[in-house]
Amino acid sequence: MRREWLSEAALIERINDELIQYPACAGCRISNLRIVGIRDRDECNWVPYQVTTPLGRNNSYLSVLARIICDFQGRYSVADSSGARRVK
């Protein structure tokens, strides 16, 4: 599968749009991503950096969040603001 390059904001929006599909993730949001160094342009260049959850939330959302992140890391990378491929 060919990797799609998105802006950081667009990727965060897609992840959060996916999270709201799952009741276990109600109120959970990705707030920030961290760009990581990669050796190959076909590898993922980001990891979730900040996840916001409602106060008192148990950890039942973690398995769903992990599946979503794993899926999205296989499909998307973060491009810089000009749309160029971003490698740290």
Domain ranges (residues) in the chain: 4-78
* Closest residue by Cα to residue 73 from 13, 26, 4: 4
pLDDT value for 66:
94
pLDDT value for 51:
92
Task: Please give the share of the chain, as a percent, with pLDDT higher than 90.
Answer: 58
Q: CB within 8 A of 67, min separation 6: which ones?
A: none
Express each pLDDT in 26-57 by its tens digit. Answer: 999 999 999 987 656 677 899 999 999 988 77
pLDDT at 10 over 90: yes
What is the rounded CA–CA span in Å between residue 57 and residue 26? Answer: 9
Give the global pTM: 0.84
